[in-house]
Chain A
Amino acid sequence: MQTELTREYREAGSDRRGMPRGLGRRWDAGVHEGVSDPAERRATGLGWFSIALGLAATLAPGLLAERIGAGRGPKKRATTFAVGIREIVTGAGILAGVGRPIWLWARVAGDLMDLALLGRSLRSRRANHPKLLANMASVAGVLALDAITAAQLSRRERREQRTPGRIHVRKAITVNREPEEVYRFWHDLQNLPRFMENIDSIRVANGRSRWRARGPVGIPLEWDAEMVHDRPNELLGWRSLEGSDVLSSGIVEIAPASGRRGTVVRVDLSYHAPARRIANTITKLFGQDPGTQLENDLRRFKQLLETGEVIHSDASIHRGRHPARPPTQKELEAIR
């Protein structure tokens, strides 16, 4: 796990030339959330295919039954219509729940059912046998495609479930201060808890730092980290020590904004914990949207540098929702 994190950390932090990523020209969305993979794209295609087939089967069931060689008759029409409804439902399911394997497995079951139906039609004297066999071959082909896609999505889902607490976020903000000042502020890691909501404290001693985060139910997480990059006014990087419970790394890139309109700060954070219990705590710590979490942290960092403190509103001083009105004495004591 340590090696995997190290690799991830290297990838996140730099490209082949050892330059911090982000200083290059190309914006790489790969490290961000929600990039579709080939299996997902294929699933979407199959979803649309389902809907198209379903529409044909429900709008013109008689015509379709004849075309596939199943023959005529009210029974054939009814079966084709039912198959059409099934196709529309599975198609809509695939498109609505992109990335969920369950609907793809439903398609696999549907294909098997279709094969059985077509096979039964073979026994009918009115059926067009060569046509039926050709259609059975194409259904078998689609079945293979469905099964492969479903298996890929299932595997991905299992993999994701196996690794909770793997957080990787990257955000940038522009601060109306010189790079030197920005660097100095981040270089003193003890400043971080002033704007990072999840971090309780960071103590620095002998070139190492001890990080303490408070879990949502009060279970504290602790780990030790060391600086691995330190280029004055340009780059800072830290990483948790070998064997820590929490594998964490951070990269901060500092560069003048275009036209020297302030300083751009890009932050790349990774958290991961091999132990499931700790991993779950990390997941909770970052909530539903780790990207927004880091964005808000960076905004507070900007407020500290530009205005000297973190700005509060009557609502924002409370955890959770609160009307925009001053706090009661009791609420105030709870905050302070």
Chain B
Amino acid sequence: MRANCWERSGKVRVQNVPDPVILNSRDAIVKITSTAICGSDLHLFNGFVPTMESGDILGHEFMGEVVEVGKGVKNLSVGDRVVVPFPIACGACGMCTTGMFSVCENSNPNAWMAEKLWGHAPSGIFGYSHLTGGFAGGQAEYARVPFADVGPLKVPPELSDEQVLFLSDILPTGYMGADMCSIKGGDVIAVWGAGPVGQFAIASALMLGAERVIAIDRFPYRLEMARDRAGATDIINYEEVDVQEALLDLTGGRGPDACIDAVGLEAHGHGPVYAYDRTKQALKLESDRPLALRQAIRACRNGGIVSVIGVYGGFIDKFPMGSVMNRSLTIKTGQCHVHRYLKPLLDRIQRGDIDPSFVITHRMSLEDAPRGYDMFRHKRDNCEKVVLKA
């Protein structure tokens, strides 16, 4: 089959690779109809995530048709149309049974690697380095899906691929970002990053009852999408105005009730602090640049919540713990527990509360994946979200 493989930092290539086979009895093989490039794929592409191997198949946002099931899969049959959650979860361990699917205790065969870096290991993830298991990804014609009786969600035929594809990751991830803000009526939520996840965090905050949602980014086209499509009430371009000043003004000096970091480890900024983080990251003295996170913490109102859904890989510098502690802030974070949100969000899509396809700006064939990565990375042609058709 054809698959988009990571070759080295900054280089991906569509190659011929062997077709997947059933390795565990609860596997299914899915023939992929739609797959997408995620912002976190760019962290792999740019070489910020360790333990990548040349030849790894990328991609963790995919859906398609079941073409084969292992003997342990009773709830799926050949021909079913499914969306696959990006974390691989067994459904039986202590974490899964309490709804913490993205930290499943059984699905990461390379748990020892992750333990060396993070103390404990998260779940396996499709196409997302060997720290998360070394599973082949979904930017391919076919994918093997372990624990297929737990993860994949059957989707009704009346919904198009584009409407349900993002249930695999970015819609639930944005939704969890808002969910972690414990929104009460009247709340003001600020969202750093108007990429696809940020867009869904904004839309979700509104669905969950926020009164105002403020989007922060540096690309006008993304801020416009946040305002016109996701429903942000206010937008801030951090290259034009001081974010802290603007937020103080917008919230009457109090700060947002909750702040969502939908940016993660490759944050941009300007001035000496940005130069400082770029330098430290280049010298490998810190792995992640936490500019958005620092700003979100400082901006949040006293006693507020900072919800982190942007991806971080290792270590950050100059973390404003004093601001967190002295002002009674709460930080909540995690890779999305997608399984939790699949059905409720499918219901919302069916009810018409949200049509996630609004973030798609580019559709291309799997063969064009390298071009898609390049466009998305450099934000060419107002690129917001690339969907690949296999």
Q: Considering the complex, give the chain A residue whose CB is closest to the CB of B105.
A: A302
Give the Cβ gap from B145 to chain A, nearest Cβ, in Å. 12
Interface residues of B in 198-225 (CB under 8 A from A): none
Question: Cα distance A174–B94 when bound, in Å?
Answer: 9
- The reply to whether A307 and B136 form a contact with Cβ atoms under 8 Å apart is no
Q: Which of A98-106, A110-118, A327-335 contacts B (4 or more CB under 8 A)?
A: A327-335
Question: Cα distance A303–B146 when bound, in Å?
Answer: 13
CB neighbours of B135 from chain A (8 A): 313-315, 324
- Mask of B110-146 contacts with A, CB within 8 angstroms, 1/0: 1110010000000010010010011111000000101
CB neighbours of A314 from chain B (8 A): 20, 23, 57, 134-136, 144
Chain B interface size band reads 35 or more
- The reply to whether B94 and A311 form a contact with Cβ atoms under 8 Å apart is no
- A24 near B: Cβ within 8 Å? no
Give the Cβ gap from B136 to chain A, nearest Cβ, in Å. 4
Give the Cβ gap from A311 to chain B, nearest Cβ, in Å. 6
Question: Cα distance A309–B111 when bound, in Å?
Answer: 16
Q: Of A262, A324, A328, which is within 8 A of B136 by CB? A: A324
Q: Of A309, A313, A325, which is within 8 A of B5 by CB? A: A325
- A323 near B: Cβ within 8 Å? yes
CB neighbours of B136 from chain A (8 A): 314, 324-326
Question: Cα distance A326–B20 when bound, in Å?
Answer: 5
- The reply to whether A326 and B144 form a contact with Cβ atoms under 8 Å apart is yes
Question: Cα distance A299–B105 when bound, in Å?
Answer: 8
Q: Using A316-B134, A321-B53 as known contacts, say yes or no to A261 and B19 having CB atoms under 8 A apart.
A: no
- The reply to whether B110 and A306 form a contact with Cβ atoms under 8 Å apart is no
CB neighbours of B107 from chain A (8 A): 311
- B109 near A: Cβ within 8 Å? yes
Q: Using A306-B92, A315-B130 as known contacts, say yes or no to A323 and B3 having CB atoms under 8 A apart.
A: no
- B298 near A: Cβ within 8 Å? no
- Mask of A287-309 contacts with B, CB within 8 angstroms, 1/0: 00000100110010011001111
Question: Cα distance A314–B18 when bound, in Å?
Answer: 11
- A312 near B: Cβ within 8 Å? yes
CB neighbours of B5 from chain A (8 A): 323, 325
Question: Cα distance A251–B140 when bound, in Å?
Answer: 47
Question: Cα distance A292–B113 when bound, in Å?
Answer: 10
- B281 near A: Cβ within 8 Å? no
Interface residues of B in 133-189 (CB under 8 A from A): 133-137, 144, 146-147
Give the Cβ gap from B233 to chain A, nearest Cβ, in Å. 42
- The reply to whether A311 and B146 form a contact with Cβ atoms under 8 Å apart is yes
- The reply to whether A302 and B106 form a contact with Cβ atoms under 8 Å apart is yes
- The reply to whether B97 and A315 form a contact with Cβ atoms under 8 Å apart is no
- A322 near B: Cβ within 8 Å? yes
Give the Cβ gap from A129 to chain B, nearest Cβ, in Å. 53
- B321 near A: Cβ within 8 Å? no
Interface size for A (C-beta < 8 A) is 31
- The reply to whether B110 and A313 form a contact with Cβ atoms under 8 Å apart is yes
- The reply to whether A326 and B134 form a contact with Cβ atoms under 8 Å apart is no
Q: Of A174, A299, A325, which is within 8 A of B18 by CB? A: A325
Q: Using A261-B94, A313-B134, A329-B18 as known contacts, say yes or no to A323 and B56 having CB atoms under 8 A apart.
A: yes
- The reply to whether A323 and B53 form a contact with Cβ atoms under 8 Å apart is yes
- The reply to whether B112 and A296 form a contact with Cβ atoms under 8 Å apart is yes
- The reply to whether A313 and B133 form a contact with Cβ atoms under 8 Å apart is yes
- The reply to whether A327 and B18 form a contact with Cβ atoms under 8 Å apart is yes
CB neighbours of B53 from chain A (8 A): 315, 321-324
Q: Considering the complex, give the chain B residue whose CB is closest to the CB of A304.
A: B106
Question: Cα distance A174–B125 when bound, in Å?
Answer: 22
- The reply to whether A306 and B144 form a contact with Cβ atoms under 8 Å apart is no
CB neighbours of A296 from chain B (8 A): 111-112
- The reply to whether A313 and B124 form a contact with Cβ atoms under 8 Å apart is yes
CB neighbours of B370 from chain A (8 A): none
CB neighbours of B124 from chain A (8 A): 311, 313
Q: Considering the complex, give the chain A residue whose CB is closest to the CB of B113.
A: A292
- The reply to whether A311 and B54 form a contact with Cβ atoms under 8 Å apart is no
- B78 near A: Cβ within 8 Å? no
Give the Cβ gap from B156 to chain A, nearest Cβ, in Å. 29
Give the Cβ gap from A104 to chain B, nearest Cβ, in Å. 31
- B360 near A: Cβ within 8 Å? no
- B267 near A: Cβ within 8 Å? no
- Mask of A153-192 contacts with B, CB within 8 angstroms, 1/0: 0000000000000000000001010000000000000000
- B46 near A: Cβ within 8 Å? no
Q: Considering the complex, give the chain B residue whose CB is closest to the CB of A291.
A: B112
Q: Using A323-B53, A324-B137 as known contacts, say yes or no to A316 and B110 having CB atoms under 8 A apart.
A: yes
- The reply to whether A325 and B90 form a contact with Cβ atoms under 8 Å apart is no
Q: Which residues of B contact A (CB under 8 A)?
A: 3, 5, 17-21, 23-26, 53-57, 72, 90, 92-94, 97, 105-107, 109-112, 115, 124, 127, 130, 133-137, 144, 146-147
Task: Please name 28 pairs of A and B residues whose Cβ atoms are closer than 8 Å in the assembled complex, sorted by A.
Answer: A176-B93, A176-B94, A176-B97, A306-B90, A306-B92, A307-B90, A308-B72, A311-B124, A311-B146, A312-B23, A313-B110, A313-B146, A314-B135, A314-B144, A315-B109, A315-B134, A316-B133, A323-B55, A323-B57, A324-B53, A324-B137, A325-B17, A325-B55, A325-B56, A325-B136, A326-B136, A326-B144, A329-B18
Q: A321-B53, A325-B56 are in contact. List 10 more A-B contacts (CB 8 A).
A: A307-B106, A308-B26, A313-B109, A314-B57, A314-B134, A314-B136, A316-B110, A323-B5, A324-B53, A325-B18
